[in-house]
Amino acid sequence: MKKSRKGLIVALLALLVVAGIWGFTALTGASPTIDPAKIAVVERGTMRRSVVATGKVEPITKVEIKSKANGIIEKLYVDVDQLVQPGQVLAELDRENLTARLRQARANLQAAEAAQEGAAAQLKKDEIQAEAPDVAFARRNAERAQQLFDQKLVSQSGLDDAKSALEQALNRQQAAQGQLVISRAKVSEAVANVAQSRAALENAEEDLANATIKAPIRATVLTRDVEIGSPVSSILNLGANGTLVFTLGDIDRVFVRGKVDEADIGRVRIGQPASITTETFRDRLFQGRVTQISPIGVDKDNVTTFEVKVSIDNPGKELKANMTANAEIILEELPDSMLVPEAAVFYDNRHNASVDLLDSSSRTGRRRVPVQVGVGNGTKMQVVRGINAGDKIVLPN
C-alpha cells in the first residue's frame, strides 16, 4: 500500500514537472533547446544606409599669424581659447630699434632731397651756360672785323683777336653742353636717390606699423606659439619659414575631412545629412552636412578613396580642433521598414533569402521561411516581405 502511494506521488510530481515545462514553453514561445540570446524580434523602424568618414575636426577658417617685421616680442594681449575680433591687437614687438630705423630713414630722405635740389640748381646754371649768348656776340664781332679787314680798316691782328674770341666762346659753349649732359644725369640720379630714400622711409614706417600684430578675422585663438622675449623673423624675408606667432580659427563652424571608398562615393551628394560622433562625446550626436567632395581619388595600397568634407555647426564650441571624429553620411532613409539583424538572413545558391522563425511546435524549435530583402547597412537588413513585425527569429550559432 505504501509502495503504491509512493509511486502515485512520484507520478504526480513528474506530471507537474512536464506540465510546468509545457506551460513555460507556451508562455515564452521558445524552444528549450534554443539559447534566448540567439532570439531576435522583428522590429519596425527606419532603415538607414550610410558610410563613415573618419578624420579630425578642423575649423572652417584657419589662419596662421606671422609677423611682417623682425623683432622681439614685447607684449602679448591674448591667450589660447580667447575670441578675438578683426583689427584687435594680439601682440607688439619691441619698437626701439624700429623707431631708430625710421628716424634714420627720414634723415636719409632729407639728405637725398637736398642733393636733388643742388643737382637741379647746377643743371639750371649749366643750361644757361650751354645757351652761350656770348657766341652770337663773338660771331658778329668776327664778321664785322672781317668786313673791316677787307676794307683795310682793321689790321690782321684785330681780325685774329675777333676770330680767337669767337673760337673761345664756341669752346666754352661746347664744354657747357658736355657739362649739361653730366648735370642732367646727376639730377636723374638725385631723383632716383630720393625715390629710394622715400621707399626706405615707407618700409621703415610699415615695419613700425607691423610691430603691432592684429587679428585679420573674427576667430578663436587656437595656439600661441611665442612668449614675451621671443625673437620673431619676418615673413617678408623668410616666407613660409617666418616665425609663427598665433594660429586663429573660426570654430563656430567646423568640419571633418574623411575618406570614402570608391564603391560608395557614387551615392554621396552635396547636402546629404551626416551624424558625427567623437571620442570625447561618445553618447552625443552632432549633426552636419556634406559640403565638399573631392573630384579626384587617392590610390593607396590598391584602395582608391575620395576625400569628403562634412561641415558642422558648433555654436557652443564644444567640438575642438583636432578631435578625432566619425562622420556617418546618410545615403538613404527608408521609414516604416521591418528590420532584422543582417546575420539572421541566409542565402541559397540562387541567392534567395530566408530566415529561421521561432516555432515551438517544430522538433528543432525553428522553421525556415523565404523572405524578400531590401537594403542593408552592415548591421540591419530591411525585409520587404515574408515576416511581420513582432515575429521572433533565430540567429545562427
Consecutive H or E run containing 175: helix 156-210
Which helix (H) or strand (E) element contains residue 159? helix 156-210
Number of domains in the chain: 1
Q: What pLDDT is attached to residue 164?
A: 72
The alpha carbon of 333 is separated from its chain's Cα centroid by a whole number of angstroms, namely: 32
Confidence (pLDDT) at 134: 66
Q: By the 8 A CB rule, do 66 and 235 touch? A: yes
Number of other CB atoms surrounding residue 188 within 10 Å: 13
Residues of the chain with pLDDT under 50: 1-3, 18, 22, 24-31
Domain presence at residue 380: no
Cα–Cα distance, 73 to 233 (Å, whole number) = 11
Instruction: Examine residue 174 and state whether it is found in any structural domain, yes or no.
Output: yes
pLDDT at 128: 66
Residue 306 within any structural domain of the chain: no
Contacts (Cβ under 8 Å, ≥6 apart) of 44: 336, 337, 338, 339, 389
DSSP letter, residue 241: G
Half-sphere exposure of 365 (CA within 13 A, CB side): 18
Instruction: Give the structural domain span for 203.
Output: 98-210
Bridge partners (DSSP) listed for residue 41? 392
The set of cell numbers assigned to 116 is: 636733388
Could you tell me how many residues make up the chain? 397
- Let me know if residue 303 belongs to a domain: no
Residue 105 lies inside a defined structural domain of this protein: yes
In a domain, 34, yes or no: no
pLDDT of residue 384: 93
- Please tell me the predicted confidence (pLDDT) of residue 30: 45
Would strands 392-394 and 353-358 be described as parallel, antiparallel, or unpaired? antiparallel
Taking Cα atoms as reference points, which of 162, 191, 177, 187 lies closest to residue 131? 177
C-alpha dist (Å) from residue 152 to 109, 139, 149, 157, 164? 65, 20, 5, 12, 19
Contact (Cβ atoms closer than 8 angstroms) between residue 129 and residue 135:
no
pLDDT score at 27: 46
Please list, in sequence order, all residues whose beta carbon lies within 8 angstroms of the beta carbon of residue 312, skipping any fewer than 6 positions away.
57, 253, 254, 255, 256, 276, 286, 287, 288, 319
Looking at residue 121, what is its pLDDT? 81
| 336-354 tens-digit pLDDT | 999 999 999 999 999 999 9
| 194 in a structural domain | yes
- pLDDT tens-digit series, residues 211-238: 999 999 999 999 999 999 999 998 888 8
Residue 151: the pLDDT is: 73
pLDDT for residue 85: 95
User: Is there a domain that residue 132 lies in?
Assistant: yes
Q: Is 350 left (phi over 0), alpha (psi -120 to 50) or beta?
A: alpha
